[in-house]
Chain A
């Protein structure tokens, strides 16, 4: 049969060639992390083993952004040795699902490059929408509403708001849902240009407490130019 006569020897040859080299085999090349609202970092451990017969040198480990740091204990992996690459994502003020990659380059000609994927599903503490309201100086100063919603598993039960500009008033009221609030913002004076930072402080237990900001401005209708 043609399969056993030609194709099978080719496939066996390819397999034997790969066995002759070292082989860095990862337990998982993709990890999904679910940090808590209090976590500052999301840490992924990519475990590997050299399943080949020759030592492997890990030449470089590069992350897809400055927000992720990848570390490993040793760049040289002897046959049979195990290790791990630790990738740490600084959560900062990131939201939603963050996908970052770690590219591992080795001297193994059969698997010179492996791309590891870290997916961090960052929980929402508070969602502020919009975070910017403005009035043109020549328009009527009607109140504008900023909606604040606590995330699904958020521990926040109430919020407080302060305005950096006494001429822009901000008042918190109940929203449509149980963990929802509406901030009514309105400038007191029409003629003046204003720029207020609204500080939204939730009663979350994280340490340091997470603070949110919104901006309210009265701007020149002609722009800055």
Chain B
């Protein structure tokens, strides 16, 4: 009886795997559910704050959210107005500064996209994505 049940369980698992494999193949290059940011390009709130004036803070959230509230000294740079806002960020940059980009939450992708463009298009070297984004900054401020 136990052997029979085991066979049934294995059969059900095998049946479940068929659509799962199909879906994995179909979505292979479509969407990534994992963070594409390597650990070396992520920075925690505590570490970034520790950089003091050596950090250039960039807010990648939409204009309205930035206007409501933002990290002191942060500059606005989002993909809605990237071309227009970038000169302002580059004017504040210097080779000794580390760029810290944040968006709303851990899940938002805007900070990753902005960081990638700063590395690729502007060829800046030390660009980091803030872990947890604005949400983490607010939580840290409450402590």
Contact = CB atoms under 8 A, between A and B. Distances in A.
Contacts of A6: 8
Interface in B42-93: 53-54, 61-62, 65, 78-84, 86-87, 90-91
Interface string B121-138: 111100000000000000
B141 interface: no
B50 to A, nearest CB: 15
A222 to B, nearest CB: 8
Nearest to A128: B121
A213 B83 contact: yes
Contacts, number: 91
B110 interface: yes
Contacts of B65: 66
Interface residues of B, number: 38
B97 interface: yes
Interface string A105-120: 0000000000001010
A164 B43 CA distance: 35
A6 B124 CA distance: 63
A215 B87 contact: yes
Contact of A130 (B7, B11, B96, B122): B122
A215 B121 CA distance: 11
B121 A131 contact: yes
A92 B81 contact: yes
B12 A7 contact: yes
Interface of A: 2-3, 6-7, 10, 30, 64-67, 90, 92-95, 99, 101, 117, 119, 128-132, 136, 195, 197, 211-213, 215, 217, 219-220, 222-225
Interface of B: 4, 7-8, 11-12, 30-31, 53-54, 61-62, 65, 78-84, 86-87, 90-91, 94-97, 104, 107-110, 113, 117, 121-124
18 contacts: A64-B109, A90-B80, A92-B79, A93-B82, A93-B84, A94-B82, A95-B117, A99-B30, A117-B31, A129-B121, A131-B86, A132-B90, A132-B121, A132-B124, A215-B91, A219-B94, A222-B96, A225-B96
